[in-house]
């Protein structure tokens, strides 16, 4: 187990280094210049050159890359060119806001999709099953910018029971979290349904039934546990996506999350801010995947033995 963990951590470090390097190069390959963005359309070529010099952007790429890696290794993430504030604290507060949103969305997704998926599997072929299939397909395909604005129109504008945007209290969390949860509900409902259908006709389920267990106990202890691995995998991947991909929902609802920060940082060509935001997102992704991998062992003893 510990050797497995060490190997996994090694991979994770490699992934982080890869992400760091790719983003370092990508943001510099894109045309556009941080100094020009900072000075705006009124600036002259000389002003821009002078500022590039002060920011150290006139040095060669290998020199900049070396300094960047050594800074990151010493946990020195630098100062945002655009916001003129330490990058690390800026990104950390944004990641926290996004994590709150993604966490709420994940909870909503799980709470809604399990009952729906189970009901659809147990009533296979009935109108209820078809209805749930249609709803989950809709949930998966509806674009979040549209859904978000519709929710604002209904709940904020007409019913006036929820705020349209902001991030100060629980009430602000509801609409963006629901919007973000919708695709997750779609995916998970279908996954729970098909996973259950796969195992419901297995021999061990028939055995469990034959030995007189209640239908509920069969479902919870024998069927469900065996379909959890694909569900956990998908939830893990989706959580990673939620962290980096919540930018549309964050923009529609004015949520101060990391997705918006990355987009603004890219538009401003704020190299340190882009690099560190992506690094944070990568770390979250890697950690979640590591936890998912470790959870397999808990869910399925056979994996633990191997």
Q: Report in angstroms how near the CB of residue 60 gets to another protein at its nearest.
A: 20
Candidate list 185, 219, 239, 261; residue touching another protein; CB under 8 A:
261
CA separation for the pair 28, 7 (Å, rounded): 32
List, in sequence order, every residue forming a beta bridge with 79; answer none if it has no partner.
86
Candidate residues 45, 62, 169, 212; the one interacting with another protein per rule CB under 8 A: 45
One of 25, 153, 287, 298 touching another protein (CB under 8 A) = 153
Residue in the structure block whose two tokens are 């009430």: 171
Q: How far is the CB of 248 from another protein (least distance, A)?
A: 10
Which distant-in-sequence residues (6+ apart) come within 8 Å of 287 by Cβ?
A: none
Q: Is 140 in the site for another protein (CB under 8 A)?
A: no
Q: Locate tokens 């919540």: which residue?
A: 246
Q: Could you say whether residue 254 binds another protein (CB under 8 A)?
A: yes
d(CA 191, CA 173): 26
Confirm if 121 and 273 have CB atoms less than 8 A apart. no
Choosing from 8, 12, 28, 47, the residue that interacts with another protein (CB under 8 A) is 47
Considering the rule CB under 8 A, would residue 36 count as an interface residue with another protein? Answer: yes
The burial of 136, by beta-carbon neighbours within 10 Å (0-12 exposed, 13-18 middle, 19 or more buried), is given as buried
Torsion of CA 19, 20, 23, 26, to 10 degrees: -100
Nearer to another protein, 222 or 270 (CB): 270
Which residue, 175 or 196, has its beta carbon nearer to another protein?
Answer: 175
Using rule CB under 8 A, residue 142 touches another protein:
no
Q: Kindly state whether residue 12 participates in binding another protein, applying the rule CB under 8 A.
A: no
CB of 161 to another protein, least distance (A): 11
Terminal Cα-to-Cα distance of the chain (whole angstroms): 9
Choose which of 29, 160, 201, 211 interacts with another protein (CB under 8 A): 160
Find the DSSP H helices in the chain.
2-29, 34-39, 45-55, 61-73, 87-122, 127-141, 144-151, 170-200, 203-210, 215-217, 225-245, 247-252, 258-267, 271-299, 301-305
Round to whole Å and give the CA distance between 244 and 157: 29
Residues 165-194, one symbol each (x = binds another protein by CB under 8 A, - = not), give: xxxx--------------------------
48 binding another protein? (CB under 8 A): yes
Q: Is the dihedral of CA 28, 92, 107, 290 positive or negative?
A: positive
Give Cα 141 distance to the centre of its chain. Answer: 18
- Interface residue with another protein among 164, 189, 238, 275 (CB under 8 A) is 164
To another protein, the closest distance from the beta carbon of 47 in angstroms equals 8
Q: Which stretch binds another protein (CB under 8 A): 62-70, 76-84, 201-209, 282-290?
A: 76-84
The site that binds another protein (CB under 8 A) totals a number of residues, namely: 48
41 interacts with another protein by CB under 8 A = yes
Interface residues toward another protein, by CB under 8 A: 30-33, 36-45, 47-48, 50-51, 81-85, 90, 94, 149, 152-153, 156-157, 160, 163-168, 251-254, 256, 260-261, 264, 267-269
């Amino acid at each position: 187990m510990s050797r497995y963990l060490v190997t996994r951590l090694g991979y994770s470090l490699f992934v982080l280094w890869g992400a760091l390097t790719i983003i370092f190069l990508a943001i510099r390959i894109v045309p556009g210049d941080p100094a020009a963005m900072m000075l705006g359309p009124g600036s002259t070529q000389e002003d821009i050159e002078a500022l590039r010099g002060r920011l150290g952007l006139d040095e060669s790429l290998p020199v900049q890359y070396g300094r960047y890696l050594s800074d990151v290794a010493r946990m020195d993430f630098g100062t945002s060119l655009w916001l003129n504030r330490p990058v690390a604290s800026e990104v950390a507060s944004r990641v926290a806001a996004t994590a709150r949103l993604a966490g709420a969305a994940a909870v909503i997704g799980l709470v809604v999709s399990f009952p729906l998926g189970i009901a659809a599997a147990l009533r296979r072929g009935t109108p209820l099953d078809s209805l749930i299939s249609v709803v989950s397909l809709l949930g998966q395909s509806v674009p979040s910018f549209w859904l978000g604005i519709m929710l604002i129109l209904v709940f904020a504008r007409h019913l006036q029971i929820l705020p349209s945007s902001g991030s100060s209290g629980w009430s602000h969390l509801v609409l963006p979290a629901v919007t973000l949860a919708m695709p997750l509900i779609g995916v998970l409902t279908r996954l729970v349904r098909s996973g259950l259908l796969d195992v419901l006709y297995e021999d061990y389920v028939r055995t469990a039934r034959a030995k007189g267990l209640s239908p509920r106990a069969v479902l919870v202890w024998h069927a469900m546990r065996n379909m959890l691995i694909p569900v956990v995998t998908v939830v893990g991947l989706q959580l990673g996506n939620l962290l980096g991909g919540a930018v549309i929902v964050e923009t529609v609802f004015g949520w101060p999350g990391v997705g918006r920060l990355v987009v603004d940082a890219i538009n401003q060509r704020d190299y340190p801010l882009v690099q560190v935001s992506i690094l944070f997102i990568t770390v979250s992704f890697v950690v979640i995947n590591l936890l998912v991998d470790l959870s397999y062992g808990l869910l399925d003893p056979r994996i633990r033995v191997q």
